[in-house]
Amino acid sequence: MTLIHPNATVADSAQIGAELVIMAGAVINPYAQLGKGCIVNTCASVDHDCNVGDYVHVAVGAHLCGTVEVGAYTWIGAGATVSNNVSICPECMIGAGLWS
Ligand SMILES: CC(C)(COP(=O)(O)OP(=O)(O)OC[C@H]1O[C@@H](n2cnc3c(N)ncnc32)[C@H](O)[C@@H]1OP(=O)(O)O)[C@@H](O)C(=O)NCCC(=O)NCCS
């Protein structure tokens, strides 16, 4: 089951995987891709052309700028910001509040 809060914004052109949760205030911008089992938590954002692997958690208030790649099972900590065009490997954690 895919759950998208009514106060989340998901672009029509975004590709959303199965069994995924998008919480209130989250924004998924055009041409972003999210794999299955992801969580985009409260007020987090995934910007244009990002490619987010399966089972990634984008924690509360974290932001992925445009064209970011995130490998499967990675956790982006609360309030972290990932600058545009950065690639993050699978199965890692970006600490809360960090910039990369
Ligand atoms: C990165 C993280 C996993 C590290 O946890 P940990 O392995 O238990 O590490 P520790 O708490 O023992 O900290 C180790 C060192 O890293 C520093 N550190 C830990 N997290 C940090 C962060 N987010 N930013 C900057 N420094 C950090 C600590 O100050 C400590 O420094 P010191 O050795 O100089 O004292 C954790 O701090 C974190 O950020 N978790 C994310 C939580 C989150 O986003 N939850 C969201 C739920 S929606």
Give 51-70 pLDDT, tens digit per residue.
999 999 999 999 999 999 99
Q: How far apart are CA 33 and CA 21, in angstroms?
A: 14
Residue located nearest, by CA, to atom 10 of ligand 1: 95
Encoded tokens for 99? 């910039």
Which residues are designated catalytic?
48
**Torsions phi, psi for 71 (to 5 deg):** -75, 165
Domains of the chain in sequence order: 1-91 (2.160.10.10)
pLDDT of residue 9: 98
Residue located nearest, by CA, to atom 18 of ligand 1: 95
- For the whole model, what pTM was predicted? 0.96
Q: How confident is the model at residue 31 (pLDDT cuts 50, 70, 90)?
A: very high
Residue with tokens 């938590």: 41
- Sequence-distant (≥ 6) Cβ neighbours of residue 29 within 8 angstroms: 11, 14, 45, 46, 47, 48, 50, 66
Whether the per-residue pLDDT at 41 is higher than 90: the answer is yes
Question: Among the atoms of ligand 1, which is closest to the Cα of residue 57?
Answer: 48
